Amino acid sequence: MPPRPLLPVLLGLALTANVAFGADLDDCNAEVPAPAAAVRPAAEAYWLDGRHLQWPGLKLQPGERVRLHHAAAAGLRALPGEQVTGGDGAVALQPSAAPLPARLRFIGEGARLAVAEGVPVATLLRGQLLLVHEAADGRVIASTGVQIAGALDDLYAAAERVGDLGAHPARAGTRFAVWAPTASRVLLCRHAGGDAPAVAAEAMHFDAATGVWRAELKGDLSGQAYRYLVDVVTPTHGRVRNLVTDPYAVMLTTDSRLSVVADLASPALKPRGWDAAPRPPRMKSATDQVIYELHVRDFSISDASVRPDWRGKYLAFTETGSLGMRHLKALARAGLTDVHLLPVFDLASVPERGCKTPTVPDAPADSEAQQAAVMALAAEDCFNWGYDPWHFNTPEGSYATDPLQRVVEFRQMVMALHRAGLRVGMDMVYNHMAAAGQARKSVLDRLVPGYYHRLDARGEVERSTCCDNTATEHRMMAKLMIDSAALWVREYRIDSMRFDLMGHQPREAMERLQARVDAEAGRPVQLLGEGWNFGEVAHGARFLQASQLSLNGSGIASFSDRARDAARGGSAGEGGDDSVRRQGWLNGLVYAPNALAAARAEDLLAAADMIRVGLAGSLRGFELTTWRGERKRLDAIPYGDQPAGFVSEPGEVVNYVENHDNQTLFDVNVLKLPLGTSREDRARVQMLGAALVAFSQGVAYFHAGQDLLRSKSMDRNSYDSGDWFNRLDWSYQTNHFGTGLPPRQDNQGRDGRDWALARERLADPSIAPGPAEIAWARDVFRDLLRIRAGTPLLRLPSAAEIRKRVSFPGSGAAQNPVLIATRIDGRGLGGFRALLTFINVAPTAQALALPDEAGARWVLHPVQRQGADARVRDGARFEAGRFEVPARSAAVFVLE
User: CA angle 887-889-891, nearest 5°?
Assistant: 130
227 bridge partner residues? 189
Distance (Å, whole) CA 235 – CA 147: 9
Instruction: Give the three-state DSSP class for 870.
Output: helix
| DSSP symbols for 195-214 | TSPEEEEEE-EEETTTTEEE
User: How many CB atoms are located within 10 Å of the residue 516 CB?
Assistant: 17
Contact 361, 452 (CB under 8 A): no
Asked if residues 778 and 792 have their Cβ atoms less than 8 Å apart, the reply is: no
Distance of CA 699 to the CA centre of its chain: 17
**How far are the Cα atoms of 167, 265, 519 from residue 487, in angstroms, in the given order?**
14, 12, 12
Query: Which residues face 68 on adjacent strands?
Result: 91, 131
Query: Which DSSP letter does residue 506 get?
Result: B
With the C-alpha atoms ordered 130, 131, 134, 138, is the resulting torsion angle positive or negative?
A: positive
Please state, in angstroms and rounded to a whole number, the distance separating the CA atoms of residues 853 and 849.
Answer: 9
Distance CA(401)–CA(399), nearest Å, equals 7
At CA 16, angle to CA 13 and CA 22, rounded to 5? 150
User: pLDDT at position 20, please?
Assistant: 54
pLDDT computed for residue 41 by the predictor: 80
Residue 840 sits at the vertex; the CA angle it makes with 834 and 844, to the nearest 5 degrees, is: 135
- E strand residue ranges, 630-710: 631-633, 638-639, 642-643, 653-655, 699-703
Q: Around 507, how many Cα atoms within 13 Å sit in the side-chain half-sphere?
A: 21
Distance CA 275, CA 421 (A): 17
**pLDDT of the residue at 2:** 38
State the 10-residue block means of pLDDT for the chain, 896 residues long.
32 43 85 82 95 97 96 95 97 95 94 96 98 96 98 98 98 98 98 91 97 98 97 95 98 97 98 96 96 98 98 98 98 98 98 96 98 97 98 98 98 98 98 97 98 97 97 98 98 98 98 98 98 97 97 97 97 93 98 97 98 98 98 97 97 98 98 98 98 98 98 98 98 98 97 97 98 98 98 98 98 98 96 97 98 96 98 97 98 96
Using the Cα atoms of residue 827, residue 830, residue 833 and residue 838 in order, give the sign of their dihedral: negative
d(CA 137, CA 65): 10
Distance CA 870, CA 873 (A): 5
Contacts of 381 by beta carbon, 8 Å cutoff, 6+ apart: 350, 355, 356, 357, 358, 374, 722, 723
**217 exposure class (CB count in 10 Å sphere: 0-12, 13-18, 19+):** middle
346 φ, ψ to 5°? -60, 120
d(CA 488, CA 286): 20
State in Å, rounded, how far the first CA of the chain is from the last one. Answer: 75
DSSP 559: E
Calpha distance 446→232 (Å, rounded) = 8
775 Cβ contact partners less than 8 Å away, ≥ 6 residues apart: 732
Say which residues have a Cβ less than 8 Å from residue 749's Cβ, sequence separation at least 6: 575, 576, 755, 756, 757
Nearest in space to 58 (alpha carbons), one of 14, 98, 113: 113
Burial profile 172-188: b = 16 or more Cβ within 10 angstroms, e = fewer:
eebebbbbbbbbbbbbb
Q: What are phi and psi of 30, to 5 degrees?
A: -80, 165
Residue 425 to residue 496: CA distance in whole angstroms: 4
Angle at alpha carbon of residue 181, lines to 119 and 245, rounded to 5°: 165
Give the number of other CB atoms < 10 A from CB of residue 277. Answer: 16
Asked if residue 293 lies in contact with residue 702, where contact means CB atoms within 8 angstroms, the answer is: yes
pTM of the predicted model as reported, rounded to 2 decimal places: 0.96
The pLDDT value recorded for residue 40 is 72
Question: Does residue 759 contact residue 369 with C-beta atoms inside 8 Å?
Answer: no
For residue 73, give Cα distances in angstroms to 6, 34, 237, 242, 741: 9, 22, 11, 15, 55
Q: How far apart are CA 463 and CA 456, in angstroms?
A: 10
For residue 259, what is the enclosing H or E element?
A: strand 259-260
Q: What three-state secondary structure class fits 50?
A: coil
- Helix/strand/coil (H, E, C) string of 437-504? CCCCCCCHHHHCCCCCECECCCCCECCCCCCEEECCCCHHHHHHHHHHHHHHHHHHCCCEEEECCHHH
- Distance (Å, whole) CA 870 – CA 512: 50
Q: What is the pLDDT of residue 103?
A: 93
Residues facing 238 on adjacent strands: 234
Q: Are 583 and 672 in contact (CB under 8 A)?
A: yes
Mutual orientation of helices 679-695 and 665-672 as an angle, nearest 10°? 130
The sign of the dihedral angle between the CA atoms of 621, 624, 627, 629 is: positive
DSSP classification of residue 827: T
Which residues, in sequence order, are CB contacts of 605 under 8 Å at separation 6+? Answer: 627, 815, 817
- For the annotated catalytic residues, the residue numbers are 500, 530
Cα–Cα distance for residue pair 641/637, rounded to 1 Å: 10
Tens of pLDDT, residues 542-567: 999 999 999 999 999 999 999 999 99
**Separation in Å, CA 803 to CA 354, 681, 836:** 57, 35, 16
pLDDT of residue 881: 96
